Structure 1
Amino acid sequence: MLDELASVLESDGNTYWSGWVLKVRARLLNSDYSGIELLLSAYGGMGSLNDVVLGQNNKDGVIEWKPEHTGLNERFTVLSSKAWELASAIKRSQ
């Protein structure tokens, strides 16, 4: 799921968050529990993963939707929500 989430972010040029998600994924693949804490820390607050909006251009101060990215935010929201739910469930089980 984190691969897909990173791919969706990367497809819109959001290299910061896609790289961040892959960093979390690497920790989890190494059975490093800090990946759970790191992932959960991305949700909430200003500039968080919750604030990400994909599929937009800023042209001369006017925000426009990219027609080729229809449904991108919906896919991002589903993946991001599932990642949070799984990480929360793992944290509760510890």
Structure 2
Amino acid sequence: MINGMLFKAKTGVAWRDLPERYGPWKTVYNRFWRWSRNGTLTMLVCRARVIAEAIDELDREVSVDSSIVRAHQHAAGARRQATGHTGGQRRRRSD
């Protein structure tokens, strides 16, 4: 169960694409959701950190690959093309 959660966190796959060896994806998801809401995950991570620090095995290196960290084009300020469709905009009424 925990390995399934770690696999999801490491790879970023969709819950439905979780390999069968971790059990039913819905079970892993439900337990992850419940544990994250009730503090169990936080407690497990804290205990693992304490053990890793005690045996000097804690690696605090973080890396972000900027080639995959992108904003959507509209969030990045891209201009919209005029398509003739007003979308959610109101049209002016001519009185």
The TM-score with structure 1 as length reference comes to 0.27
Specify the structure having the higher radius of gyration (Cα): 2
TM-score normalised to structure 2 length: 0.27
Bigger RCO of structures 1 and 2 (CA < 8 A, at least 6 apart): 1
